[in-house]
Amino acid sequence: MQYIPNILFVIALVAGIGYFTRNIRKVIRNIRLGKDVDRSDNKGERFKNMAMIAFGQSKMVRRPIAGVLHVIVYLGFIIINIEVLEIIIDGIFGTHRIFGFLGGFYNFLIASFEILALLVLVSVIIFWIRRNVINIRRFKTLKGWPKNDGNIILYFEVVLMTLFLTMNAADLQLQELGADHYIKAGSYPVSQFISPLFNGMSEGSLVLLERGAWWLHILGILVFLNYLYFSKHLHILLAFPNTYYGDLKPQGEFDNLEAVTNEVKLMMDPSADPFATPAGDEPEGEPEKFGASDVMDLNWAQLLNAYTCTECGRCTSECPANQTGKKLSPRKIMMDTRDRLKEVGDNIDKNGSFVDDGKQLLNDYITAEELWACTSCNACVEACPVSISPLSIIIDMRRYLVMEQSAAPSDLNNMMSNIENNGAPWPFNQMDRLNWSNE
Amino acid sequence: MSETVKVPTMAEYMAEGKKPEVLFWVGCAGSFDDRAKKITKAFVKLLHNARVDFAVLGTEESCTGDPAKRAGNEFLFQMQAVTNIEVMNAYEIKKVVTACPHCFNTLKNEYPSLGGDYEVMHHTQFLKSLLDEGRLTVEGGKFKGKRITFHDPCYLGRANNVYEAPRDLLKKLEVELIEMKRCKRNGLCCGAGGAQMFKEPEPGNKDVNIERTEDALETKPDIIAAGCPFCNTMMTDGVKNKEKEDSIEVMDVAELIANAQDL
Ligand code: SF4
Ligand code: SF4
């Protein structure tokens, strides 16, 4: 009988981690639905970016208030989770504060956790106020699930931190009572002020309180872990690979489509052998589709971008099109891509492989009107704290509209036929190109 | 153009068996747009004055393909690129300077993988290098002490991280350089990029160039300096819209330097 808590604990742990692993595998599978793109170069620079941008949060602090608060929550979160290691060992072996033997160092650790927990609580409350009370447009424009998601995670943090401090406060009382099993360990700079609330409680109730908080805390962490998959909070994991695999080219450089290069070469060079296999991995017979109308046409780095997006809206708040009332929102481009990718993934889960559902990213999620409003200014790319490029998706979708559907706005069609015929976007004759020099 | 300045073409150089120091890529706006032609001429005067041995492609130049590429027409872009690269490689071009950030970005970043590898400079970078080498003098003249704000072109700034060259030149004019609240990497677009120049904007509640002009007007400038023919048009329209064209001029950095010297 005495092992029942240990067994229950192991079951909870295995279930929690198991379900999480299963979902993460789905994320990886879905990302792999994207086309190949080579991001295996410049490992040193990539590591540096990951260290600076994801770990060092260098782009977060460009907006100092939100940035500093975020750093506190982030550091607090990581460091307090060292405590989870002790909880897991205690839980499996039925020990209590197994690292207590570290003495002074243990006191230091617990004290830092408590102070961080308090700072996290304060930051999270400020975050909540920013999201719900203060009129910040990038948060106000979130509706429905994304809005709730943002708040749920804040409530989670509040509950977890409160449980952690309650657990410590009850533990402190028990230590002072000299209760069996509750060794004297740790230093409690924050919970010592909570502890007096429990004065006069019997030892039995205190144990119940301490155990209750302990269990809810660890179960809460497991639930949190599994919540990530359904939430924008996946970024706490994916920010690392995403910044590592980010685009290293100058922001102004758009990729040159290789399939097009091959065709252009054939057109320009009549002596080229049309049957020579191009360098690309074109499947036999099927002509390559130009641009993107659905998530499978994007590359895996773009799909990783979509799962990483934190929905913070920094991109949209910098976007000139959005600021002037156009429908385009780079955040929405990323959220739509993720939603559609999730839908495609669910479709695969249900049917074994993707079965056409009559939907696609273009039109069903992102409209042509949004795509045509982009000035390709890169403000969104610059603003994103986790190296996402909404612009690259916009351009790939424009490519589909123009090259597969000839669906450009008529003004742009005029511009393009001018380039084709006169070598300039306006109807001027190429032979007049030097006239300025003697005007 | 004044008789003293001759604009040689690559073909003429080739005929003489010579090669210029640098190719001046004029671009479509610089060749055909009335406002941008003035920038082209100002820059040519500066090149001439600094005794730079330059040439243009003239009628052999064709659109880089930038607007087609940003509009999604990769075919047209690559056709343009391959044609231009063929011409430039035939002349064994090594170094290119252009007064258009869109041409600059495309030539510098997107031509190499198609076979066109050149050292490409924006005209503000090139002028800065002439200044550093002592070939060009920049002095305040009539602009001394004027309030000037510089609008960062997206394709020069964020796209290629060039923020200082134009500012260094402006400072040399002994002007009062005032930054807009959104500048450098946070600079707001003028609204022309991504082929927007060639179409009507999508429905919204304001035009981007008006929003940006308001940023500029907040600095109470005498002159709004630009480094891109398209930004120039957008800001000029914005200033007109605000009925400020009598008190505020929109000028390219090259024009400012040339005018200061009464060239
Ligand atoms: S690149 Fe396009 S989507 Fe991104 S900020 Fe600029 S206009 Fe908006
Ligand atoms: S793309 Fe980047 S900046 Fe935009 S909402 Fe997502 S995380 Fe934030």
**Tens-level pLDDT at each residue, chain B (263 residues):** 554 578 999 999 999 999 999 999 999 999 999 999 999 999 999 999 999 999 999 999 999 999 999 999 999 999 999 999 999 999 999 999 999 999 999 999 999 999 999 999 999 999 999 999 999 999 888 899 999 999 999 999 999 999 999 999 999 999 999 999 999 999 999 999 999 999 999 999 999 999 999 999 999 999 999 999 999 999 999 999 999 999 999 999 999 999 998 87
Residue B120, strand partner residues: B96
Query: How long a stretch of residues is chain A?
Result: 439
| pLDDT computed for residue A80 by the predictor | 79
The least confident of A60-74, A102-116, A268-282 is A268-282
CB A378 near ligand 1, within 6 Å: yes
Residue A253 identity (one-letter amino acid): E
Q: Please give the share of chain B, as a percent, with pLDDT higher than 90.
A: 94
Instruction: List, in order of start, the domains of chain B with CATH numbers.
Output: 10-131 (3.40.50), 137-260 (3.40.50.2300)
How many beta-carbon pairs below 8 A join chains A and B?
A: 221
For the A258-272+287-429 domain, the top CATH level (class) is mainly alpha
Question: What distance in Å separates the CA atoms of residue A9 and residue B165, rounded to the nearest whole number?
Answer: 63
Write out the DSSP string of A192-251. GGTGGGGTT--HHHHHHHHHHHHHHHHHHHHHHHHHGGGSGGGHHHHHHHHHHTS--S-T
Q: What is the pTM of this model?
A: 0.94
Q: Look at residue A276 and tell me whether its pLDDT is greater than 70.
A: no
Place of tokens 């090139």: B126
The four Cα atoms A105, A107, A113, A117 give a dihedral, to 10 degrees, of: -160
CB A330 near ligand 1, within 6 Å: yes
pLDDT in tens, A192-242: 999 999 998 999 999 999 999 999 999 999 999 999 999 999 999 999 999
pLDDT in tens, B181-199: 999 999 999 999 999 999 9
Q: Look at residue A261 and tell me whether its pLDDT is greater than 70.
A: yes
| pLDDT computed for residue B262 by the predictor | 80
Question: What distance in Å separates the CA atoms of residue A66 and residue A139, rounded to the nearest whole number?
Answer: 12
Q: How confident is the model over A79-105, as a mean pLDDT?
A: 89
pLDDT in tens, B46-64: 999 999 999 999 999 999 9
Residue B52: HSE in the Cβ half-sphere, 13 Å Cα cutoff: 29
Which residue from A327, A376, A389, A397 has its CB within 8 A of the most atoms of ligand 1, so it is best to mutate? Answer: A376
Across B128-164, b (16+ Cβ under 10 Å) vs e yields bebbeeeebebeeeebeebebbbbbbbbbbbbbebbe
Residue ranges covered by each domain of chain A: 4-31+63-244, 258-272+287-429
User: From the list A267, A372, A436, which residue is nearest B202 (CB)?
Assistant: A372
Q: How confident is the model at residue A439 (pLDDT cuts 50, 70, 90)?
A: confident
CB contact under 8 A, A324 and B207: yes
CB contact under 8 A, A252 and B158: yes
pLDDT in tens, A292-341: 999 999 999 999 999 999 999 999 999 999 999 999 999 999 999 999 99
Place of tokens 């009850």: A170
CB A326 near ligand 1, within 6 Å: no
CB contact under 8 A, A419 and B74: no
| pLDDT computed for residue A282 by the predictor | 47
Residue B23, strand partner residues: B55, B96
Q: How confident is the model at residue A273 (pLDDT cuts 50, 70, 90)?
A: low
Structure tokens at B95: 């170094």
Q: How confident is the model over A28-53, as a mean pLDDT?
A: 96
CB A213 within 8 A of CB A167: yes
Q: Look at residue A430 and tell me whether its pLDDT is greater than 50.
A: yes
| pLDDT computed for residue A286 by the predictor | 64
User: From the list B32, B71, B188, which residue is nearest A426 (CB)?
Assistant: B32
Q: Look at residue A279 and tell me whether its pLDDT is greater than 80.
A: no
Q: How confident is the model over A378-405, as a mean pLDDT?
A: 97
Phi, psi angles (nearest 5°) of residue A312: -75, -25
Question: Which contiguous run of DSSP H or E holds residue B249?
Answer: strand B249-252
CB A54 near ligand 2, within 6 Å: no
CB contact under 8 A, B158 and A249: no
